[in-house]
Structure 1
Amino acid sequence: MKLLHRDIEKNGEGSVTLMPEEAEDMWHAYNLVQVSDSLRSTTIRKVQNESATGSVSVNKVRTTLTIQVEGIDFDTQACVLRVKGRNICENQYVRMGAYHTLDLEQNRQFTIGKHEWDSVSMERIENACDPTQHADLAAVVMQEGLAHVCLVTSSMTLVRAKIEVNIPRKRKGMCDQHTKGLNRFYDQIVQAILRHINFDIVKCVLIASPGFVKDQFHEYMTTTAVKNDYKLLIDNKSKFVLVHSSSGFKHSLKEVLSDPTVTSKLADTKAAGEVRALEDFYQMLQTDPNRAYYGVKHVEKAADLQAVEILLVSDELFRSNDIQQRKRYVNLVDKVRDNGGDVRIFSSLHVSGEQLGQLSGVCAILRFPMPDDEDDSDDED
């Protein structure tokens, strides 16, 4: 993401012009645009022209519109953000107050205007525009006949290829069919790795499976790379790490990323950091439950007493259309930081973020034990 222009007053009001450069930047844009914001971008509009003879022609024109946001829809497959709202600036093709949908996509700049840029939004812009925050982890989660090739970015887990091959079972005197099926399966995974993984950015490729499938695949890949002179695989051989997983499905990534051998290798990646923080919370919940709080009311109470050491919060909570609800979570984040606590904002599209969402989306590891108040219900206001 490129920051092209920034004009924010001391009171927090102002606008920011951004240029998304890759798919993940669209996720950041989705988290920045809120209902009631103003959004300015170029768009295509159909315009009807009536000639002197009464004939009507329809032309498509490119124009720049500024709308007040009323609806936001994010297409995760196409990585396009569709924002609906009313036109609030004079335009020769679109009357004031008319509805229009702006499509935000890669390499097309847009300007977001807000009445108040809070600390969470400003932090997201800084992270999105920081080149060191880019994806640097890939994973192949597999079992016999099924594999998922994934890119694990700081914000989401993207499944780049799903490979399913029917492998004949081993039968007495017919092992050849089984071996041929396996080789066909492994070859498709090798091709998917070559097609979807950019080794200039990716620091590490995890190969995870139950049993010895990962070892057999790694051996096959190494042999194939030498045989077919796949220099990309040969040169990056050291980047492949073999770890255990319970299955070849996407959800197994959580346990893969929490493996100690993996986390030591990936200490610099945010994806591993988030999983580690969530694992610490679960561990604390088992060993010392009075130091593990979840639910916004309980966590707020702990924050008021400066007890929160690590705050885990889902970015989904900051997309609430209820401004007061959003401010509530922003104030919680600011309070924890002001008191010297560490804040981890999880992406709801990430495997770890999905787990956090099942625990109300906000959890905290405390500095000291706080007995839970039995009479205090954790219902939302």
Structure 2
Amino acid sequence: MRLVHRDFERDGGGSLVLIPEESEDMWHIYNLLMEGDHVRASTIRKVTNESATGSTTSNRVRTILTIQVESIFFDTQACVLQLKGRNIEENQHVKMGAYHTIDLELNRKFTLRKALWDSVHIDRIDLACDPSRSADIAAVVMQEGLANVCLVTSSMTIVRAKLDVQIPRKRRGDASQHEKGLQKFYDQVVQALIRHVNFDVVKAILIASPGFVRQQFFDYMYQHAVKTDNKLLFENKSKFILVHSSSGYKHSLKEVLQDPTIQSRLTDTKATEEVRALDDFYKMMKNEQTRAFYGPKHVFSAAESDAIETLLISDKLFRANKVSERKKYVDLVDKVRETGGEVRIFSSMHISGEQLDLLTGLCAILRFPMPELEDTDEEDSDED
């Protein structure tokens, strides 16, 4: 994302002029936008003109429009962001107060104005505009006949291609049809990998599977590279890491990223940092329960005692429709940071973020045990 202009005011309001440059930027914008924000952007409007004789003609014109956002729709697969709201500035083609839908587009600038830019918004802007934090892991999670080609960016786990191919079974004394089906499947995976992975950006490409599938695929891919003289694959051979997974489904990527060997190879990626932080929370729950709590009630109580060492929070909680609800979580983040705690904001589009959402989206590792928080559960159950 490119930050073109920044104009913040003393009262905390202000505007930014931004240009989304890649699909992940749309995810960051989705997390920045809230109902009531003002968005100014180029858009297409259908205009109907009536002549003196009463005949009408309609044509589509491009115009600059400013709307007050009332609804936000984000298509995560197509990375399309659609905003609907009322026009709030004079325009020759659109009446004041008329509804219009704006599609935010890649490489086209827009202006976002807010009544208040809080600390989480500012963090999101810094993250989105940092060029060093782009997509850094690609992964092929596979089993015979099934493969998911994924990109693990700093904010999302995106399935770029899902291949599901029927492979004939081996027959007694004749495995030729099985081998042909397998080669056809592997060829499709190679093509999907080349098409969807930017080898100049990714630091590692994981190939994960149960059994020997990953090794067979890797061998086939480089035999294919020899035949086709594919220099791209040869130049990036060192980036491939073969690792075990329990299946070829997307959810198996979580266990792959938890593998200590993989984590040591990917120490500087946000995805593995999130997985490691969640793993630390689970370990603390198992070994020292009174230092690991989840859910708003316990976590906010721990924050009041300045006890939080690490806060794990889902970005879903900051997309609350109620301003007061969002402010509650922003204040929590600010308080934990002020008292020297670490805050990790998980993307709900990551595998680890999905796991955190199952735990209410809010977890905390404490500096010291607080058994009294467990007692509040017992008191509540007694009252019930």
TM-score scaled by length of structure 2: 0.96
- Asked if 2 retains the 8 angstrom alpha-carbon contact of 1:317 and 1:326, the reply is yes
Per-residue CA deviation, residues 137-188 of structure 1 (Å, 9 max, x unaligned), is 0000001110111111111111111112211222221122222221111111
Residue 246 of structure 2 is aligned to residue 246 of structure 1: yes
Residues in 1 aligned to 2:7 and 2:68: alpha-carbon distance in whole angstroms: 18
Residue 209 of structure 2 is aligned to residue 206 of structure 1: no
Local SS of the residue matching 2:167: coil
Residue equivalent to 1:353: 353
Residue equivalent to 1:293: 293
Residue equivalent to 1:186: 186
Residue equivalent to 1:220: 220
How far is the alpha carbon of 1:199 from its aligned partner?
0.6
Residues in 1 aligned to 2:59 and 2:180: alpha-carbon distance in whole angstroms: 57
- Asked if 2 retains the 8 angstrom alpha-carbon contact of 1:37 and 1:68, the reply is yes
Residues in 2 aligned to 1:206 and 1:289: alpha-carbon distance in whole angstroms: 34
Aligned residues: 378
Local SS of the residue matching 1:374: helix
Residue equivalent to 1:153: 153
Q: Supply the AA of the counterpart residue of 2:286.
A: Q
Residues in 1 aligned to 2:357 and 2:94: alpha-carbon distance in whole angstroms: 41
How far is the alpha carbon of 1:223 from its aligned partner?
2.1
Residue equivalent to 1:136: 136
Residue 2 of structure 2 is aligned to residue 2 of structure 1: yes
Local SS of the residue matching 2:377: coil
Residues in 1 aligned to 2:251 and 2:380: alpha-carbon distance in whole angstroms: 31
Residues in 2 aligned to 1:15 and 1:303: alpha-carbon distance in whole angstroms: 32
- Asked if 2 retains the 8 angstrom alpha-carbon contact of 1:145 and 1:165, the reply is yes
Local SS of the residue matching 1:224: helix
Residues in 1 aligned to 2:209 and 2:344: alpha-carbon distance in whole angstroms: 29
Residue equivalent to 2:40: 40
How far is the alpha carbon of 1:78 from its aligned partner?
2.0
How far is the alpha carbon of 1:209 from its aligned partner?
0.4
Per-residue CA deviation, residues 70-98 of structure 1 (Å, 9 max, x unaligned), is 11110112211111111111111111111
Residues in 1 aligned to 2:170 and 2:306: alpha-carbon distance in whole angstroms: 61
Residues in 2 aligned to 1:374 and 1:125: alpha-carbon distance in whole angstroms: 39
How far is the alpha carbon of 1:375 from its aligned partner?
4.5
Residues in 1 aligned to 2:278 and 2:207: alpha-carbon distance in whole angstroms: 22
Local SS of the residue matching 1:166: coil
Q: Supply the AA of the counterpart residue of 1:251.
A: H
Q: Supply the AA of the counterpart residue of 1:163.
A: L
- Asked if 2 retains the 8 angstrom alpha-carbon contact of 1:79 and 1:105, the reply is no
Residues in 2 aligned to 1:121 and 1:91: alpha-carbon distance in whole angstroms: 30
- Asked if 2 retains the 8 angstrom alpha-carbon contact of 1:206 and 1:240, the reply is yes
Residue equivalent to 2:88: 88
In structure 1, stretches of 5+ residues that fail to align are none
Local SS of the residue matching 1:364: strand
Q: Supply the AA of the counterpart residue of 2:9.
A: E
Per-residue CA deviation, residues 239-259 of structure 1 (Å, 9 max, x unaligned), is 000111110000111101111
Q: Supply the AA of the counterpart residue of 2:186.
A: Y
Residues in 1 aligned to 2:235 and 2:59: alpha-carbon distance in whole angstroms: 53
Residue 352 of structure 2 is aligned to residue 374 of structure 1: no
TM-score scaled by length of structure 1: 0.97
Pair 177,20 (structure 1): closer, same or farther in 2 beyond 3 Å: same
Residues in 1 aligned to 2:299 and 2:62: alpha-carbon distance in whole angstroms: 49
- Asked if 2 retains the 8 angstrom alpha-carbon contact of 1:47 and 1:60, the reply is yes
Residue 230 of structure 2 is aligned to residue 230 of structure 1: yes
Residue equivalent to 1:60: 60
Residues in 1 aligned to 2:285 and 2:308: alpha-carbon distance in whole angstroms: 15
- Asked if 2 retains the 8 angstrom alpha-carbon contact of 1:303 and 1:332, the reply is yes
Residues in 2 aligned to 1:78 and 1:134: alpha-carbon distance in whole angstroms: 18
Local SS of the residue matching 2:71: strand
In structure 2, stretches of 5+ residues that fail to align are none
